[in-house]
Amino acid sequence: QEIAEGVDWNVVFMFGGGLAMGAALDASGFSRWLALAIAGSGALDPFTLTAIAALLGFAITFPASNTAAAMVSVPLVASIAKGVGVNPVAPVLAAALACSISSALPSTTPPMAIVYGSGKVRMANMFKVGIVSDLLRLAVLVATEPYLAGALLRLKGL
């Protein structure tokens, strides 16, 4: 009973839902279709796939919260990487990190909603400042993450 009360079931179900969605994307063939559509010829190099994964995660965070964006983009990117024969670690990491970049809109994180809700910051100002910093962080992520992920994989022998 104590264990059941101490577990954050929302997190458990959210994580399970993400895994189920990834499995469904694989089983339905959607991820393979999307991988072929993105790659054109069916072959993507890891750097390009990682950049696409980061852009996908980043783009999804604008209409959704960072957590919801990660739930959608991470299983999708993992399925795409598997579909084109790329180790999914770097693209999945890029997508997950990119989901945490966005800070231009109140919908992205509770702190941004609180700031906007105070009435002291206008939406236009929040977006102008936020989008510049978001794009800078995205550029740094795209430029560095494939190399850092590769170094981590080599350290682990993968």
Query: pTM of this prediction?
Result: 0.73
CB of 134 within 8 A of CB of 104?
yes
Distance between CA atoms of 64 and 40, rounded to whole angstroms?
28
Ordered by start, the domain boundaries in the chain are 2-156
The per-residue pLDDT string of the chain (158 residues; one tens digit each, 9 = 90 and over) reads 677 777 767 667 766 776 676 677 778 877 677 767 776 655 678 888 899 899 989 988 877 777 778 888 888 888 888 878 888 889 999 999 999 888 888 877 778 888 888 889 898 999 999 999 999 999 999 999 888 888 888 888 76
Q: How far apart are the first and last CA of the chain?
A: 40
Alpha helices in 7-122 (DSSP H): 9-28, 30-39, 46-60, 66-84, 89-98, 110-117
Q: Which amino acid is it at 145?
A: E
